[in-house]
Structure 1
């Protein structure tokens, strides 16, 4: 089955780079396919009891600048793709933002990198890729 719009969440990790390379290979099978690359960042927050403390704005600015750099890195990685590509940067909770974006732009396939934390890591830390797989309404390929 050929997919017409493939989404790759990109965070700069080796796994997300492998996912992006895999997606680039997949869309070559369909010259009409479009590649969507999404970098999601979120501002740091600290919680104490039932209160949320904001992090100094200089830290948030550094996170935003890092997100801009990752987005630019993703643009460079897809610059040679002959298919139509779009690179986007969004702020928010990673898994939710990925799922919302996939629905918004009507992606029919998601290729996502896996951090490889294993079952214990997922129980303790949670996993963006695991969450996306569990809640996506389209097929998801997890690349290790």
Structure 2
């Protein structure tokens, strides 16, 4: 059914569940390729007329933390004898996920839902919601059982 799955991974329980789901798909289809993307963002804060950006040391810490998150995904896959292609991107979360899926030729995106609903989601939005709206391929949103 699928030949290439993209898993959006942020280290959360829902992201782990999405990765586990992709791994289960791959066990049923050994030719399936799994790409795992972790997108991190170095915060920029606008205060009055100025913009605050972290120091180079702080930016490096964001990058190193992002690498650790992606290493965790690699370890989960390795423990189950599954090879993944791990990708690290910096920038806007949903845009990077959708752009990568297009560039890499992914058939489907697996992403965890952070569980926002109603008014909160309308104002705050969510990465999974934005991915669903902008993706050119099917998106499977993974939720925890209620």
Question: Structure 1-normalised TM-score?
Answer: 0.92
The residue number in structure 1 matching 2:133 is 134
Q: How many residues align?
A: 143
The residue number in structure 2 matching 1:7 is 6
From the superposition, tell whether residues 76 and 82 of structure 1 become closer, same or farther in structure 2 (CA, over 3 Å): closer
Q: Secondary structure at the match of 1:28?
A: helix
The residue number in structure 2 matching 1:17 is 16
Contact 1:33–1:83 (Cα < 8 Å) also in 2: no
Is the deviation greater in 38-47 or in 83-92?
Answer: 83-92
The residue number in structure 1 matching 2:40 is 41
**Unmatched runs of 5 consecutive residues or more in structure 2:** none
CA RMSD of aligned residues (A): 1.5
**Alignment partners' CA distance in 1, 2:118 and 2:2:** 30
The residue number in structure 2 matching 1:94 is 93
